[in-house]
Structure 1
Amino acid sequence: MKVFWGLGKLLTLLFWLVALVNLLIPFIHPFHLLINFAGSVLAGLHLLELVFCNRSLKGRAHPWRDRLKIVFFGVFHLQTIPAPAASKASHA
């Protein structure tokens, strides 16, 4: 699974690069609109992920770095964060 999350991060980074190039030098007519739309939707989704997962980042060593990675990579970074240790509760 680690390879899958790393590949997802790489492809997401590649998409952000394409979106940035599209902002600087717009592509031909239908594609620049589609890339701008997809980039804005993806940015909105990543910001929603950040809002929903913000509380779970409080105890991390570098929460601002994690927040920045969530804005860029979204769920691909969230899946690499280890789950917090479960408290020992009796099941009796």
Structure 2
Amino acid sequence: MKVFLGAAKVLALLFWLTVVVNLFEPFAQPFGLLLHFCGGLLLVINGYQLVLRSVGLREQSVLWCARALLFGPLQRDEVPMAALELAHA
């Protein structure tokens, strides 16, 4: 399972790299606009998920929040157990 999770994270990083490259060197018109839209939508969805999940997880580092924005639901398994116990207490 960890192999699939790692592969999914690599694909997510490749997607975000493509979005950043598209900002500096735009692709052909239908693809560039679609990539901007998908990247923005994914960033909004991951940000909304981060806000919903971090209500009880206020003590997380900035690095964890950045990884949660990049990877979204793939980051779910890496929440420290101590933070989850504090959230449910």
Q: How many residues align?
A: 84
Provide the rounded CA distance (Å) in 1 between the counterparts of 2:5 and 2:79.
Answer: 11
Distance apart, 1:59 and its partner CA: 5.2
Provide the rounded CA distance (Å) in 1 between the counterparts of 2:72 and 2:56.
Answer: 14
- Relative to the length of structure 1, the TM-score reads 0.78
Q: Match for residue 11 of structure 1?
A: 11
- Relative to the length of structure 2, the TM-score reads 0.81
Q: Percent identity?
A: 36
Q: Match for residue 45 of structure 1?
A: 45
Bigger radius of gyration among the two:
1
Unaligned 5+ segments in structure 2 are: none
Unaligned 5+ segments in structure 1 are: 86-92
Task: Specify the code of the residue in structure 2 equivalent to 1:68.
Answer: A
Displacement over 3 Å in runs of 4+: 82-85
> Which of the pair is proportionally richer in helix?
2
